[in-house]
A and B are shown apart, each in its own frame.
Chain A
Amino acid sequence: MFAIFTHFASWLVYDVLALSPDTKLADALHFFVEDTTKIFALLLVMIYFIALIRASLDIERVRDYLARKNRFLGYFLGAFFGAITPFCSCSSIPVFLGFTSAGIPLGITMAFLITSPLINEVAVLLLIGLLGWEFTLLYIAIGMSVGILGGLFLDAIGAERWLQSFAADALKHGQATQQNDDNEDVAQALTMAQRHAFAKEETKDIFGRVWKWVIIGVGLGAALHGFVPDGWIEAHLGDGQWWSVPAAVLLGIPLYSNATGVIPVMESLLVNGLPVGTTLAFCMSTVAASFPEFILLKQVMQWKLLAILFVVLLFAFTLVGWFFNFIPL
Chain B
Amino acid sequence: MKVVKVLGSGCKNCIATEQVIKEVAEKNGIEVNIEKVTAPQDIMQYRVMKTPAVVIDETLVHKGSVPDAATVTTWLTA
- Does B73 lie at the interface of the complex (its beta carbon under 8 Å from any beta carbon of A)? no
B50, A91: Cβ atoms under 8 Å?
yes
Which B-chain residue is minimally distant from A170 (CB atoms)?
B44
Minimum CB–CB distance for B66 against chain A, Å: 10
B49, A94: Cβ atoms under 8 Å?
yes
- CA of A63 to CA of B50, assembled, Å: 12
Per-position contact with A for B1-26: 1 when CB-CB < 8 Å, else 0?
Answer: 00000000101010000000000000
Minimum CB–CB distance for A326 against chain B, Å: 41
- CA of A90 to CA of B50, assembled, Å: 9
Residues of B within 8 A of A90 (CB): 9, 11, 13, 51
Query: Please, how many residues of chain A have a CB less than 8 angstroms from a CB on the other chain?
Result: 18
Residues of B within 8 A of A93 (CB): 9, 40, 43
Which of A26-34, A42-50, A95-103 lies on the face that meets chain B? A95-103
A window 100-138: CB within 8 A of B: 101
Per-position contact with B for A144-188: 1 when CB-CB < 8 Å, else 0?
Answer: 000000000000000000000010001000000000000000000
- CA of A91 to CA of B48, assembled, Å: 10
A97, B51: Cβ atoms under 8 Å?
no
Query: Please, how many residues of chain B have a CB less than 8 angstroms from a CB on the other chain?
Result: 13
Q: Which of A90, A93, A170, A299 has the most CB of B within 10 A?
A: A90
A98, B41: Cβ atoms under 8 Å?
no
- Does B47 lie at the interface of the complex (its beta carbon under 8 Å from any beta carbon of A)? yes
Which B-chain residue is minimally distant from A296 (CB atoms)?
B9
- Does A60 lie at the interface of the complex (its beta carbon under 8 Å from any beta carbon of B)? yes
Q: Which of B40, B44, B49, B50 has the most CB of A within 10 A?
A: B49
- CA of A95 to CA of B50, assembled, Å: 7
A97, B44: Cβ atoms under 8 Å?
yes
B51, A98: Cβ atoms under 8 Å?
no
17 A-B residue pairings within 8 Å (CB atoms): A59-B50, A90-B9, A90-B11, A91-B49, A91-B51, A93-B9, A93-B40, A94-B9, A94-B43, A94-B44, A95-B49, A97-B43, A98-B48, A101-B44, A166-B41, A299-B40, A300-B40
4 new A-B contacts at CB < 8 Å, known A90-B13, A94-B40, A296-B9: A94-B49, A98-B44, A101-B44, A300-B40
Q: Which 5 A-B pairs have the closest CB atoms?
A: A98-B49, A90-B11, A97-B44, A94-B49, A93-B40
Interface of A toward B, CB cutoff 8 Å: 58-60, 63, 90-91, 93-95, 97-98, 101, 166, 170, 201, 296, 299-300
